Amino acid sequence: MERNGWFGWERLEAPRATRDELSRVHSLRHVDLIAELSARGGGAIDLDTSAVAGTYEAALRAAGGAVALVDALLRDGEPCGVAALRPPGHHASAARAMGFCFFNNVAVAAAHARAAHAAERVLILDWDVHHGNGTNDIFQADPAVLFCSIHEWPLYPGTGPSDDVGSGAGEGFTVNMPVPGGSGDDVHLSLVEHVVAPLIRAWEPQLVLVSAGFDAHRADPLATLRLTEAGFAGMTASLRRACADVGAPIGLVLEGGYAVEALAASMAALVPVLGAAEVPRAVDVEVHPLARAASERLAQLGSMRRM
Ligand SMILES: [Zn+2]
């Protein structure tokens, strides 16, 4: 990003999330637990997830940066933005840190859009290679936040089968799209173009957030998907076209991605697409059988008729 002059984007320091902002999603007991663990110098939470002395401060700013992104989009009228922050968030549930995640940044951001900006409908697309189990849990029964996830299956954390469609009032507002190991750009591009983009056009969210992990990249050591930089840019173009059609701003929140050069190259490929003055032109994307199956499942859900 530095080599490209940050593509002319304005860079802002992430503020700390407040307790009020965190408490829309997390128990304060959980927030205090992370604070106390960091104050003691850190320690292990589970096999994957350890805090160090600086974790609480970093996690506060990761969540706060996602909140600031929502303010920029919904208060200041910016059309797009990126919260390029770590630690990631999508595995954190209301009361539990796991999978390198402490506070669920994208969930805190969506809750902020609802509470502070009266957004009635927020759509989250999680394209991190791992299922966003924390986000899925937090909005499981919430019909105001439509959670879509494309993830490798089977893979950590083992959640997110296609028949998890939400529950209670939120039934039909969770769209899980597991894909087999080895899948490439074509599957993701079709799922975004033929499932997620039509959902955006049908449901007309006031805000679209992306849990943007880059561990589905072919170079990533933690998974086996085969995405390229062009795939990430293509998904971004697809989302931008749909968002332009309904007038929704779009914000990316960084999640995973463990091949640093691949993460950087993917960001450098998608940021110009995200920020381009012109809406990217439509391209033909072949309908993948998984996208056809997902569309058919959605059509059968009674909840979708409420849209
Ligand atoms: Zn991941």
Q: What is the pLDDT of residues 134-147, one digit of tens each?
A: 999 999 999 999 99
Cα three-residue angle 112-24-127, rounded to 5 degrees: 65
- At 218, list the tokens: 């072919």
Measured in Å, residue 11 CA sits from the centre of ligand 1 at: 25
| Whole-number pLDDT of residue 142 | 97
d(CA 69, ligand 1 centre) in Å: 21
Predicted local confidence at residue 301, as pLDDT = 82
Q: How far apart are CA 249 and CA 252, in angstroms?
A: 10
Sheet order of strands, 145-152 included: 80-83, 250-254, 207-212, 122-126, 145-152, 174-179
Centroid of ligand 1 to alpha carbon of 118 (angstroms): 30
Arithmetic mean of pLDDT, 57-71: 98
pLDDT, average across residues 274-294? 96
Compute the distance from residue 256 Cα to the ligand 1 centre, in Å. Answer: 4
pLDDT tens-digit readout, 144-187: 999 999 999 999 999 999 999 999 999 999 999 999 999 999 99
* pLDDT tens, position by position, 220-260: 999 999 999 999 999 999 999 999 999 999 999 999 999 99
- Average pLDDT score over residue span 281-304: 89
Average pLDDT of the chain?
Answer: 96
Cα 143 to Cα 120: distance, rounded to the nearest angstrom = 9
In contact, 266 and 214? CB cutoff 8 Å: yes
How confident is residue 306, by pLDDT bands cut at 50, 70 and 90? Answer: low
Query: What's the sign of the alpha-carbon dihedral 219, 86, 129, 3?
Result: negative
151 alpha carbon to ligand 1 midpoint, in Å?
9
In the set 30, 91, 131, 217, the catalytic residue is: 91
Confidence of residue 300 (pLDDT cuts 50, 70, 90): confident
Catalytic-residue membership of 91: yes
Rounded CA-CA distance 230/270 in Å is: 8
DSSP reduced 3-state for 125: strand
Predicted confidence at residue 305, as pLDDT, reads 52
Q: Which pair of structure tokens corresponds to residue 191? A: 């799922």
Separation of CA 89 and ligand 1 centre (Å): 10
Nearest 10 degrees: Cα torsion 111, 296, 189, 87: 30
Nearby residues of 305 by Cβ (< 8 Å), 6 or more positions away: none
Beta-sheet pairing, 207-212 with 250-254 = parallel
Characterize the bridge pairing of strands 42-44 and 174-179. unpaired
Q: Give the strand pairing for 50-52 and 42-44.
A: antiparallel
* Of the candidate ranges 28-37, 56-65, 141-150, 298-307, the one whose mean pLDDT is the lowest: 298-307
Per-residue pLDDT tens over the stretch 190-218: 999 999 999 999 999 999 999 999 999 99
